[in-house]
Each structure stands twice: as C-alpha cells, then as structure tokens.
Amino acid sequence: MKIAVAGKGGVGKTTLTVWLGDYLAGQQKDVWLVDADTALSLGPALGLGEEDLPAPLVQQQQLIQERVGSGGFINMNPKVDDLLGGLSREVRGMHLLLMGTVAGAGSGCGCAPNTLLKATLAHLLVWRAQRVLVDLEAGVEHLGRGTISSVDGLVVVSEPSIRGLQTASRISSMAKDLGLQQQALVLNRAAEGFQPPQDMHLPPLAARIPYLQSLEERQQHSSSVLDLPEQNRINELCESVLTRFDS
C-alpha cells in the first residue's frame, strides 16, 4: 500500500499522514513516511526536534554529485537501492525520510538534485516498503507520471471552506489526469451534517476528522500530534481511510 496525502496548506494533511503511519506501525507493518513538502513538517509532527531530523536528501550535495554527477553529464538513472537506510530515521517503528522539495522532478527538469529525488522516491514506492505514506505539497504534478503511477491511492484533505474544497477538486482532477483514479476525501473540522457540493467533483468521502480540543491545546506547546486522549477515535478514522485502499 503506497498512499500520497495532499491538500491545501493548513488543512491537516501532515497530521493525518502521521496518524495513518502510527496506526499502521501499531499493526506491526513496515511503514515509511516520506516528507515531500518543502515545509518539512512530518518530523516535528512526530515530536522530533530539529537536531533529531535526518538531513533532507536534496541537501546531500556530495551524495548527489557521486550518484548523479554535475556539469555537462547527468546520470538520469542513478543507483539508489542502498541509500534509504542511511538517509532515514526510525521513529516509533516508522522510517522517516525527508526528501526536500521535489518540485519539477516530473516536468523534464534535468538538475541533479531532482534526478536523485525522483529516483529515490520511485525506488521506495516500487521496490521497498509494504506501507508508504507520502506527504505532498498542495498538488501532485511534481511527482511526474512515472512516480505517481506507482502510488496505490491519493488521500485529499480539505476543510469545509470553498477555497479548501476548490483546491481539493483541482488536486483530484490533476491526479486523475496522471492516471491515479483511486482517491478518497477526508474532511477536517467539518460539521457532522456537512456535505461537499456535488458539482465540485471531489473524491468519495472516506472520513471526517473531528474537532479535538486536546490537539488544539497540545499545539500550543508541542509540535507532536501523537498520543492524544482521543486515540480510539483517531484509530477509527484511520481505519476508515485505509480500507479504501487495502485491496
């Protein structure tokens, strides 16, 4: 199961990614969390301080030059199968990998960092882990057709606002254009009776994230989104989302 999580900034996609990963790790699954967002928020959401984070792959200049090259010749198919262990950090039974930005990786960009980023992510999605969760920026086009085809599904997170839902609709449409048909919508901070407008052509609604006062209070003094009192409710929504893709 390889799932990408997308949505407008601030709608809770990183929080959901961490909850999904922690839920799977609790089931003794081999879980990889991939931070493909320039904000690099997965580590803090797991409770890690800056000093505990693995270095983003995009910043590994010596490694990039060794595997991809520089100047006039760039190896577009670099060896990456031996990199993941050294670039990741294990947290609560999950493997955290920081990619840095992958913007432009699928658009024909030949720069060395993006070449290594795309090859590493594609290797992880196709060959390595049984459970991969990728925290995207607000869009999926930067993964490129070759990589997005290796993802099993897309979770689109949105608030009940018009702007959030419009962004979710654009993300869904773009992903379908890239061949990713299996999608699910998660609504955050939406009233129980709220239903998205049908003319927005959103993915099927899989779950709602309820308002959690404990999360709001936690975020005032900690970046971690784990170990909340409402763990049973969180587990239920994670199961509702994952069953959409666990075939």
Give the 3-state secondary structure of residue 72.
coil
> What does the pLDDT average to over 108-131?
76
User: 139 with 113: CB under 8 angstroms?
Assistant: no
Q: Looking at residue 236, what is its pLDDT?
A: 96
Domains and CATH numbers, the chain: 2-242 (3.40.50.300)
Q: Looking at residue 107, what is its pLDDT?
A: 43
Q: Which 8-state DSSP code applies to residue 54?
A: P
- Largest distance between two CA atoms of the chain: 58
First-to-last C-alpha distance (Å) of the chain: 9
Share above pLDDT 90 across residues of the chain, in percent, rounded to a whole number: 53
Strand pairing of 88-91 and 94-98? antiparallel
Q: Where are the alpha helices (DSSP H) in 52-184?
A: 61-67, 84-87, 112-123, 144-148, 162-177
For the record, the structure tokens of 112 come out as 């060395």
Residue 6 clears pLDDT 80, i.e. is over it: yes
> pLDDT category, 123, cuts 50, 70, 90?
confident
> pLDDT category, 196, cuts 50, 70, 90?
very high
Least confident of 5-9, 34-38, 105-109: 105-109
